[in-house]
Structure 1
């Protein structure tokens, strides 16, 4: 048979690597990197190369399912499933109000370029405050600090321009994730090695010597959860030795004295004792970072999930502010973002956003408020289980798996099972989908049109792609935005978008929807589509924004004393960690062969690993009387899970390292080798959580270890 090869991009994760797709007999037969792409140069990862299997698995859900009175699922036409879902949702809204319906966008909602935008428009049209995404599970502090302390309107320094970089718990070689200023996830290992050959100085802080840490000029094996001590020690050195950019600080920063007072007690010796690293290394790292001309400090999700996320991100923000790591007047602005609504790019500080929860509805639970337009995920279970006005009675789950991804796993199961209606949009019978009343079958990535709006947060040039569908979707499927439009139509609500209300008389095609959703962007999706030749990327170099002079009518400054963070640092310094019999700290890690809870069902990835190993330092295993491949019981103050022991001399002593949000259920001793466990069962979001963001402790979890 003839094989046709076309250009597209991967949507297994948020990197969106450029791909060549082989199509045979109307099916995806193979994928590989596109060596002619100017951004990726042929790079793909092992997860993305599983797309043919992901599309063609025999147990893929290609027809909608409705649970009958006997508890069993029966296949139905998409229109019939939408009719039932729409009727039941409308009845719930009519009786209990719009807040009784919640929408959750999981990992794979983000991999559809219209997924989150359509879900937000659906929720806003419905009028519910209960809109959730996975952002508040692992990185709400990044959003909070960016909004609260003000943004430099020209953007942070980009990695390509950096001569120094500080990574805290960030391993983009494996995770393919980096915040602004970090290592772009496009052939990250090669990019980092090339940068080091060109003179980049790299500092890495991590409880384990990760892939990135192995390339560091200074590696700081920080004790889990003690990143604030390390950062405060570095800031102490920078301020004491006046290594900061005094002209920039004088012009653009308030609150310096408050920060100076807060770090006064974090001398290198004191910081080293708390952080578990060498004092001289802290001094050397501070001097190296401040001595660079460009380059940022960035974090991964691990430090943010370690219980002091906002404080950690505040101190990282302070480091970048003190050292003026921003694009200046006349330079190209950072990260042009072709599909994102444009904001002025000026050499000045923009206004701060509202405090967490200010100006937006609040949850009924723990006094927590919204982060931008979304509620923190860690109130959802209680919002479902707590009676009263506004109780969630229906949940639409889009490309997510809350049973595995959310903390306090058993409570989440109780909450999901208590819903009047659970609608899951999923391609497989994942743990959460198994509890659904209705499962809607979506198209997969190579079966739909998409743009690169998710990954453009790392493109340092105005790079954009509009991909066509590579193959026809099997069965009776729809794109997620089409499903949400159909539900809004049946309920009788609208879908407000940036370009105006979505037309509800006739369902718009994907291009029209994307144009409306991204109105005000640098280049509309329809134009990118028209400019695309043979599926290739388009680079609008002549449209790259340049940082303009400051507007004299605006006089905003970074405020390092805002939101009580200097006081929070003092409180942290005065508190002493208490092991209380839980002598190990469990830290999260990324896996080459999984993307959160996704991937374990794919044959090519299962062949690499079936479980979620518990990695220990070899000396810890010996002291515990354990050997590699033993099954271990890992117990927190909340629960016990089982893991399969593995040795790694890349870990510091007293640390166990496992992937979070892993697997597809509750594995016992007998099946843990085949299924693996999610560490989220070990934590309780009502006890250990950030009071500003509601984020639960999901890394640096106190645990004790025993043979199973």
Structure 2
């Protein structure tokens, strides 16, 4: 790599911040924010400088390794591919296709190469036992989008750059830089909002980093968000504040929601939520009467016992107050590569509960079962038991509930392979680890998070460093395994046409596909010269073909669509390479009804599965709230996932893996700031230092996620020196939202007591 400044997108969280990386003598000299990036405008968080640590990490695996009685031994790639393909093929042959399980971690969605190669790999595996981080994260949002708008990844995004009221519930964008709302420099955007006379209101069980900047803050008891949101819906109907705005002719079943909200008066939910009735009414009134306003919810509302209902109600509130498809409200993005439309063209809008898991009968979503049942499927004998397992860029031992039980399950497998460049708490159970190149050794384009951005934007980053001849990108690893599995399934030889197709796919890689999608998209080829000749045919296709006909979809996505006439044109891979700081594609714009994918072209305000779950919500309304302490997670700006804890820049400073507890609860339990506390639920126990603070609601305790690096057999030395404890070692994997199958990560009850180790006996 030549000396000088190279521009890139930081891939360590959803924010897509632009970075300027100075290289000198083949090494990184500095990492700074890219002032010329039109989206992030020079902003970076502390994670960005850790790109150097991750790239240069001596603990990172560079060659395949296999576990032996003498320890881990390096292998050649061909030998490793053959071993893995043989083991997986034999498992499928002996025990059926569902005897192989697959888990995909969330780094995959930051990697366009992995995304392009994942589907061929999963098809070659052929198993229904698929899992991912989705059910520990954003599944309720995907379900609501599928049920209400007809597509699982069509998310309404707050137009924060133009809103005058931002209501933030169960989210901490100051630490996350947004989640399902890609928003670099949230602090700067909030400052601009407040300078134009706007306000931010935060509702959370903890006074988060975001809450400390809010104009108004309310504590709320964990797991009660759905009650508060339903009381806000009740208020809108009761006070005649419902105004659907631009979406009025598109919304159906408003009366069903009105009837469903009748029992949930603000007075009825006040004690359970911890909010005063008038505070709830004021929230509803302010949302309804502020012309440019947006309500946003995230992890705190989605990963709880009523995650499905709470997320649905948040969508409903934006719709009922006319904020959907309105500048300053919530809008749908129009990315350069429209995976929403591409998915719809191929019939991949999403699906839910087409089948249920073998052991606990939990619903699948988009072909994946909830992560909370992975251990069940490995431990319970019978037809379909998982006997071999594949993980790709994931560490579910630390990121899924009841990690110790999952460890037990992984230890009993016949075979396990991990595509990962760390020997971590999950991959240490593998028989073979296949390490891909690091992020700076491959090109980058954010296919997924461009769809969630608060402004339409496109940016491509070329590989910064040469990966070397004896390395493999993750897309190469997945495609090679898929190819070899297909050959074994076909008796060792594929038809010539199929064989040539595999070879071509492996040779061209993801970037030519990326270029094709950019050119064919709404910002693609400049078609001014040919528009006159082709426009009649395009218009005819749009008029006479059925709404979901593939040819109509191609016409709709094409730059020739009249809808895109005002958009900038000429986007291609070359154009992005010529603009390494990125290309601004403009603010979010109204897009209804074209953006709906429901069969009748209407917004389903009251899907039946949500109405049916309200019986459970009403039971919560009439039951006493828990007297035991309720546990919530938290996030720090220096820590996104467990794999970032091997960077000395990110873990330095004071210990952040602590138990946050309110002074009243600490006093009642006899805890002092210098103590450690034992946190337990049933037989699951962890120990953490105590942090006493009024920033946590009484009756609530908080532990950050992603820690717990004290396991034996791992190979991350810095992480082990800052081990902390895993919140998932105390959370139950039996506790899921029955509506969506989402893991309950917030609101489980725990016991807390002082922990003082016995004094060591004096040596004789």
Which residue of 1 is the match for residue 723 of structure 2? 675
1:231/1:71 Cα in 2 relative to 1: closer, same or farther (>3 Å)?
A: farther
Helix, strand or coil for the counterpart of 2:673? coil
1:169/1:266 Cα in 2 relative to 1: closer, same or farther (>3 Å)?
A: same
- Greater alpha carbon shift after TM alignment, 124-133 vs 535-544: 535-544
Distance between the aligned counterparts of 1:299 and 1:215, measured in 2? Answer: 17
1:535/1:516 Cα in 2 relative to 1: closer, same or farther (>3 Å)?
A: closer
Distance between the aligned counterparts of 2:284 and 2:133, measured in 1? Answer: 33
Contact preservation (8 Å) 1:104, 1:131 = yes
Which residue of 2 is the match for residue 84 of structure 1? 83
- Residue 574 (structure 2) pairs with residue 530 (structure 1): yes
Helix, strand or coil for the counterpart of 1:202? strand
Give per-residue Cα distances to partners, 1:656-697, cap 9 Å, x unaligned: 111123232459xxx9994111111222223x2122322222
Distance between the aligned counterparts of 1:96 and 1:516, measured in 2? Answer: 41
Distance between the aligned counterparts of 2:267 and 2:449, measured in 1? Answer: 41
- Residue 165 (structure 2) pairs with residue 121 (structure 1): no
Deviation at 1:3, TM superposition (A): 4.2
Distance between the aligned counterparts of 2:594 and 2:138, measured in 1? Answer: 31
- Greater alpha carbon shift after TM alignment, 647-656 vs 610-619: 610-619
Distance between the aligned counterparts of 1:256 and 1:219, measured in 2? Answer: 30
Helix, strand or coil for the counterpart of 1:660? coil
Contact preservation (8 Å) 2:709, 2:722 = no
Matches within 5 A, 1:419-438: 419-438=413-432
The number of residue pairs the alignment matches comes to 686
Deviation at 1:421, TM superposition (A): 1.6
Matches within 5 A, 1:305-454: 305-327=303-325, 334-341=332-339, 343=341, 356-358=352-354, 361-454=355-448
Deviation at 1:589, TM superposition (A): 0.7
Matches within 5 A, 1:254-653: 254-327=252-325, 334-341=332-339, 343=341, 356-358=352-354, 361-473=355-467, 476-492=470-486, 503-506=501-504, 507=506, 508-514=508-514, 521-522=521-522, 528-533=572-577, 536-539=580-583, 541=585, 547=591, 555-575=600-620, 576=622, 583-610=628-655, 612-653=657-698
- Residue 41 (structure 2) pairs with residue 27 (structure 1): no
TM-score, normalising length from structure 1?
Answer: 0.89
Contact preservation (8 Å) 1:204, 1:220 = yes
Deviation at 1:472, TM superposition (A): 1.8
Helix, strand or coil for the counterpart of 2:643? coil
Deviation at 1:71, TM superposition (A): 5.5
Matches within 5 A, 1:55-134: 55-68=55-68, 70=69, 72-134=71-133
Distance between the aligned counterparts of 1:291 and 1:199, measured in 2? Answer: 15
Distance between the aligned counterparts of 1:293 and 1:154, measured in 2? Answer: 21
Deviation at 1:287, TM superposition (A): 0.8
Give per-residue Cα distances to partners, 1:286-337, cap 9 Å, x unaligned: 11111122332221212211211011112112111211222269x9963211
1:261/1:475 Cα in 2 relative to 1: closer, same or farther (>3 Å)?
A: same
Helix, strand or coil for the counterpart of 1:40? coil
Deviation at 1:150, TM superposition (A): 2.5
Distance between the aligned counterparts of 2:682 and 2:721, measured in 1? Answer: 24
Contact preservation (8 Å) 1:342, 1:520 = no
Which residue of 2 is the match for residue 696 of structure 1? 743
1:518/1:247 Cα in 2 relative to 1: closer, same or farther (>3 Å)?
A: closer
Helix, strand or coil for the counterpart of 1:676? coil
Contact preservation (8 Å) 1:424, 1:440 = yes
Distance between the aligned counterparts of 1:173 and 1:502, measured in 2? Answer: 49
Distance between the aligned counterparts of 2:366 and 2:518, measured in 1? Answer: 18
Q: Work out which of the residue numbers 191, 197, 202 in structure 2 matches 1:199.
A: 197
Give per-residue Cα distances to partners, 1:365-393, cap 9 Å, x unaligned: 32223212322222222122222222222
Distance between the aligned counterparts of 2:161 and 2:728, measured in 1? Answer: 36
Distance between the aligned counterparts of 1:210 and 1:220, measured in 2? Answer: 11
1:702/1:205 Cα in 2 relative to 1: closer, same or farther (>3 Å)?
A: same
Which residue of 1 is the match for residue 213 of structure 2? 215
Which residue of 2 is the match for residue 48 of structure 1? 48
Which residue of 1 is the match for residue 145 of structure 2? 146
Helix, strand or coil for the counterpart of 2:642? coil
Helix, strand or coil for the counterpart of 2:633? strand
1:128/1:512 Cα in 2 relative to 1: closer, same or farther (>3 Å)?
A: farther
Unmatched tracts of structure 1, length 5 or more = 345-350, 495-499
TM-score, normalising length from structure 2?
Answer: 0.83
1:609/1:87 Cα in 2 relative to 1: closer, same or farther (>3 Å)?
A: farther
Distance between the aligned counterparts of 2:114 and 2:688, measured in 1? Answer: 34
Contact preservation (8 Å) 2:662, 2:695 = yes
- Greater alpha carbon shift after TM alignment, 293-302 vs 305-314: 293-302
Contact preservation (8 Å) 2:351, 2:366 = no
Q: Work out which of the residue numbers 685, 701, 705 in structure 1 matches 2:733.
A: 685
Helix, strand or coil for the counterpart of 1:161? coil
1:60/1:545 Cα in 2 relative to 1: closer, same or farther (>3 Å)?
A: same
1:177/1:638 Cα in 2 relative to 1: closer, same or farther (>3 Å)?
A: farther
Distance between the aligned counterparts of 1:622 and 1:603, measured in 2? Answer: 35
Contact preservation (8 Å) 1:47, 1:594 = yes
Unmatched tracts of structure 2, length 5 or more = 490-497, 526-569, 713-718, 756-764
Matches within 5 A, 1:231-246: 231-245=229-243
- Residue 169 (structure 2) pairs with residue 171 (structure 1): no
1:475/1:206 Cα in 2 relative to 1: closer, same or farther (>3 Å)?
A: farther
1:61/1:560 Cα in 2 relative to 1: closer, same or farther (>3 Å)?
A: same
Deviation at 1:471, TM superposition (A): 0.9
Q: Work out which of the residue numbers 246, 251, 275 in structure 1 matches 2:249.
A: 251
Contact preservation (8 Å) 1:396, 1:424 = yes
- Greater alpha carbon shift after TM alignment, 73-82 vs 320-329: 320-329
Structure number with higher helix proportion: 2
Greater Rg by CA: 2
Helix, strand or coil for the counterpart of 2:703? strand
Distance between the aligned counterparts of 1:87 and 1:269, measured in 2? Answer: 63
